[in-house]
Every structure is written in structure tokens, then in C-alpha cells.
């Protein structure tokens, strides 16, 4: 039986300054935190990138959700550092230090995507799947559609997120919602998932035991770029058969891109993958048309409060 304590919880909004649901919710909760208060739990709502929020842009100098590397966090502070690196250092001081016993127990980091991903929980390692299993069950109960778990553990594709400062980082990615836009359905589903997640932490803190079980996850497998010409210009779009089909199986031979000349590019990998972040606006600059994942079932042991 693994013992973990869940006492200090932060809720981050505005890690990307144009993802409006998390920004709006966190600002509401900063004004009035009643909705996120739970017995025995300290919850802190926090805007992580206020300058980007003010400009309604993803970031000012560099992507904050890639900035929490050991190198950045240990860089000598100075005015010449990019804004987001300075901000990462401040956040690490308040909620970390990353990797230390003093770090916050849980950070929920609220994101929106332009992809049709529904409500997705993003986990960085399977260590925390025991808890996620429970969140997952609760989400299933509240959302008519499935609520996938994306595991970003990958030797090359893992990135240094804002939430990685916590002992248990949890990303909440809800879409589709355009950048800079607030949609009531997306806003509401984010709000409801957070509510259930906090309810769970309260129950857990009261000493409720959760039995072992298994949970299905989508593990990041590979990233796919758009087809490009020799100058690096994009020469195709996501194929209509794939657009909006996040989490649906993509089999070898299935259409993947539609070239501007009308021809179809088909998936040629080995075996079935489950694409996600399909045609995410923020990923054009990252040379990423979508991410492929593989389905896995993880077995979660019993958990109980320390």
C-alpha cells in the first residue's frame, strides 16, 4: 500500500495566456474561493503567466510550459533572462522547489486546446495513476463522453511543465475551444471536473481507502509534422477523415493529410495508434500536426492517506 499525503493543492490558470477557461475560472476563484475550499485541504488559485494573459497570447518570450528545466530553475537570476524563465523561478519558489519535500502536493494546471479532445487528464508518470483512476471514474460519471488519460512519459517527447513543480502534477486539457475565446460548454466541463477532483481529494484526506484496480491510458508514442516542401513550408492539411477524430483509432493505410494538390497521404506506421492534439493551433510553431498514442492498461495498487 502506497501512502501519500494530499494537503496543499494549487490550481494554475493562464500558463498559456490565450486559453480562456482556466484563466476565467482561476480569476473567479481568486475573488471568491468558496467553490474550491475543501476540509483539510489548502487550495490556492494562481495565474502563472499574467503578462501573457494581459496580452491574450500564449507566451511573451518563451513557452512557460516548457520552461521548468533544471537548467532554467538554477540559472543565476538577472534582467537578461526571458520573462517566462524568471516567472518559472518565482513559481518554483512559491510552489516548489521542484523535487523537494517542501513542494506542493498537487497542482492542477488548466489548459484549453483547439483540438476535439474533450476533457483530458494529462499525467507525467504512471506513479499517480492510482489517484487518477478515481478521478477518471468520477469524470465518467459526470461527462457523457469518455474522459481519456494522456500519459506524457516519453524519453524524448516529455516536456518541463509548470505543474511539474508539484509532487503530483495533473494537467487538465479541455477542448475544442479557439484561442482567446470562452465557450460556455467548455468552461462548464472544466469547472465540473475540477469540482469532482477536489471532492475526491477531500474524501482521500478523510482517510477513505481506495482498492486496487486497473485504468486505461493513452501513452504518448510519437509526434507527426505536416508535410513540407524543401523550404519548410507546409503543403498539406489534416485530412477531413482525421480532423476532430481525437482518440479514435488510426490504422495503417488510413488517410492522414490532404495535400494542397488534392492527393491523400496515408498513415504508414506499424499497428493502430490513437491520435490526439489533432490540428492544435499552438503546435504549428512546434512542427506538430498531431501526437500519436498507444492504449495501455495500467494496474493501480491500493491507496490511502499517509
Ligand X SMILES: CC(=O)N[C@@H](CC(=O)O)C(=O)O
Report the relative pairing of strands 8-13 and 106-112 from DSSP bridges.
parallel
Q: By CB under 6 A, name the one of 18, 41, 173, 290 that touches ligand X.
A: 173
* Residue 122 contacts which entry, ligand X, Zn ion, none (Cβ below 5-8 A, type-dependent): ligand X
Torsion angle of the four alpha carbons 80, 46, 133, 124, in this order, in degrees rounded to the nearest 10: 0
User: Under rule CB under 6 A, which residues in 121-150 are in contact with ligand X?
Assistant: 122
Q: By CB under 6 A, name the one of 8, 9, 10, 16 that touches ligand X.
A: 16
**In angstroms, what is the minimal distance from the CB of 10 to ligand X?**
15
267 is in an annotated binding site: no
Task: Tell me, letter by letter, the H, E, C secondary structure of 67-112.
Answer: CCCHHHHCCCCCCCCCHHHHHHHHHHHHHCCCCCCCCCCEEEEEEE
Rule CB under 6 A: is residue 276 a binding residue for ligand X? no
Rule CB under 6 A: is residue 293 a binding residue for ligand X? no
Residues with Cβ < 8 Å from 50, sequence gap 6 or more? 14
* Residue 168 contacts which entry, ligand X, Zn ion, none (Cβ below 5-8 A, type-dependent): none
Q: Which residues bind Zn ion (CB under 5 A)?
A: 16, 19, 111
Q: Which of 99, 120, 110, 121 is nearest to 166 (CA)?
A: 99
Residues recognised as catalytic: 173
Q: Which of 293, 113, 108, 105 is nearest to 216 (CA)?
A: 293
205 is in an annotated binding site: no
Rule CB under 6 A: is residue 161 a binding residue for ligand X? yes
162 is in an annotated binding site: yes
Angle at the Cα of 224 from the Cα atoms of 222 and 227, rounded to 5 degrees: 160
* Residue 173 contacts which entry, ligand X, Zn ion, none (Cβ below 5-8 A, type-dependent): ligand X
Report the relative pairing of strands 42-47 and 8-13 from DSSP bridges.
parallel
51 is in an annotated binding site: no
66 is in an annotated binding site: yes
User: Residues interacting with ligand X, by CB under 6 A?
Assistant: 16, 65, 111, 113, 122, 161, 171, 173, 280, 282
Amino acid at each position: 500500500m502506497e501512502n501519500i499525503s494530499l494537503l496543499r493543492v494549487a490550481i494554475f490558470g493562464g500558463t498559456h495566456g490565450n486559453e480562456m477557461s482556466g484563466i476565467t475560472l482561476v480569476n473567479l476563484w481568486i475573488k471568491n474561493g468558496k467553490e474550491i475550499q475543501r476540509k483539510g485541504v489548502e487550495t490556492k488559485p494562481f495565474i502563472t503567466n499574467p503578462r501573457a494573459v494581459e496580452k491574450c497570447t500564449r507566451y511573451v518570450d518563451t513557452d512557460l510550459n516548457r520552461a521548468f528545466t533544471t537548467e532554467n530553475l538554477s540559472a543565476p537570476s538577472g534582467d537578461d533572462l526571458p520573462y517566462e524563465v524568471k516567472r518559472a523561478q518565482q513559481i518554483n519558489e512559491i510552489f516548489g522547489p521542484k523535487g523537494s519535500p517542501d513542494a506542493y502536493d498537487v497542482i492542477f494546471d488548466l489548459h484549453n486546446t483547439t483540438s476535439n479532445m474533450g476533457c483530458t487528464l494529462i499525467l507525467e508518470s504512471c506513479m499517480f495513476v492510482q489517484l487518477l483512476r478515481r478521478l477518471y471514474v468520477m469524470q465518467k460519471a459526470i461527462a457523457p463522453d469518455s474522459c481519456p488519460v494522456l500519459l506524457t512519459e516519453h524519453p524524448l517527447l516529455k516536456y518541463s511543465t509548470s505543474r511539474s513543480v508539484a509532487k503530483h502534477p495533473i494537467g487538465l486539457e479541455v477542448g475544442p475551444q479557439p484561442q482567446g475565446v470562452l465557450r460556455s460548454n467548455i468552461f462548464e466541463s472544466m469547472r465540473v471536473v475540477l469540482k469532482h477532483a477536489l471532492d475526491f481529494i477531500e474524501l482521500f484526506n478523510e482517510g477513505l481507502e481506495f482498492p486496487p484496480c486497473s485504468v486505461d491510458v493513452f501513452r504518448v508514442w510519437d509526434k507527426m509534422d505536416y508535410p513540407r516542401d524543401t523550404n519548410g513550408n507546409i503543403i498539406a492539411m489534416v485530412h477531413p477523415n482525421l480532423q476532430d477524430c481525437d482518440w479514435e483509432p488510426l490504422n495503417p493505410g488510413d488517410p492522414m493529410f490532404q495535400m494542397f494538390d488534392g492527393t491523400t497521404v496515408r498513415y504508414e506506421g506499424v499497428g493502430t495508434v490513437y491520435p490526439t492534439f489533432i490540428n492544435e493551433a499552438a503546435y504549428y510553431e512546434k512542427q506538430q500536426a498531431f501526437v500519436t498514442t498507444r492504449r495501455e492498461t495500467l494496474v493501480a495498487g491500493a491507496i490511502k492517506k499517509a
